[in-house]
Amino acid sequence: MSELPELPRSIDLPGPLRRQSSQRPSYRHASLLKPEMPPHLLKLLQKTPEEQERVQAAKAILMDEPALRNEQSLDLVYGWMLQNCKQYSNNIFGAAPEYIRREICRQMRLMKVKSGGLVIRQGDTGDRCYIVVDGLVDVYVKMEKPGEVVASPPPMLSTMKPRRTSWRLSSEVNPAPVDFGAMVANLGPGAMFGEIVLLNPSAKRNATIKASQFTESCDLICLERADYIRLVRTASMEASHYNNAEVLDRMFLFRDWVKLEKMRLVSAMRSRHFTSNDYLYRAGTDAKWMYIVTSGEVMERINWTLDAGGNDAAMRRLLLSQSSSQKHPERIVNVELTLIGPGDVAGELPFVTSKRGASFDIKAVTDVQALAIDRRYYETVMLTATRDNKPEVYATVKKLRTFSQDREDWRQQRMACGISYPSAHVNV
pLDDT in tens, 168-181: 333 334 455 678 88
> Strand locations in 297-388, DSSP E?
298-304, 333-340, 345-346, 361-364, 368-374
| Mean pLDDT taken over the chain | 79
| Residues 6 or more apart whose Cβ sits within 8 Å of residue 233 | none
- DSSP secondary structure letter of residue 208: E
Q: How many CA atoms lie within 13 A of 178 on its CB side?
A: 19
Picking from 168-172, 234-238, 406-410, which range would have the lowest pLDDT averaged per residue? Answer: 168-172
Instruction: Pick the closest to residue 112 from 30, 42, 203, 216 (CA basis).
Output: 216
- DSSP secondary structure letter of residue 282: -
Task: Select the more confidently predicted residue: 28 or 410.
Answer: 410
139: amino acid identity, one letter: V
13: confidence class by pLDDT, cuts 50, 70, 90: very low
Name the maximum alpha-carbon separation found in the chain. 148
Work out the average pLDDT over 224-248. Answer: 80
Work out the average pLDDT over 172-193. Answer: 78
Task: Select the more confidently predicted residue: 422 or 111.
Answer: 111
Q: Is the pLDDT of residue 317 over 70?
A: no
Question: Domains in the chain and their CATH numbers?
Answer: 36-142+178-230 (2.60.120.10), 250-420 (2.60.120.10)
Work out the average pLDDT over 153-161. Answer: 46
Task: Select the more confidently predicted residue: 25 or 90.
Answer: 90
- DSSP secondary structure letter of residue 418: H
| Residues 6 or more apart whose Cβ sits within 8 Å of residue 180 | 121, 122, 140, 142, 208, 210
How much is the pLDDT for 62? 93
Between CA 212 and CA 209 the distance in angstroms is 9
Q: Is the pLDDT of residue 112 over 90?
A: yes
331: confidence class by pLDDT, cuts 50, 70, 90: low
Q: Which of 235-239, 240-244, 311-315, 349-353 has the highest mean pLDDT?
A: 349-353
Instruction: Pick the closest to residue 45 from 222, 229, 218, 279 (CA basis).
Output: 218
Q: Is the pLDDT of residue 251 over 50?
A: yes
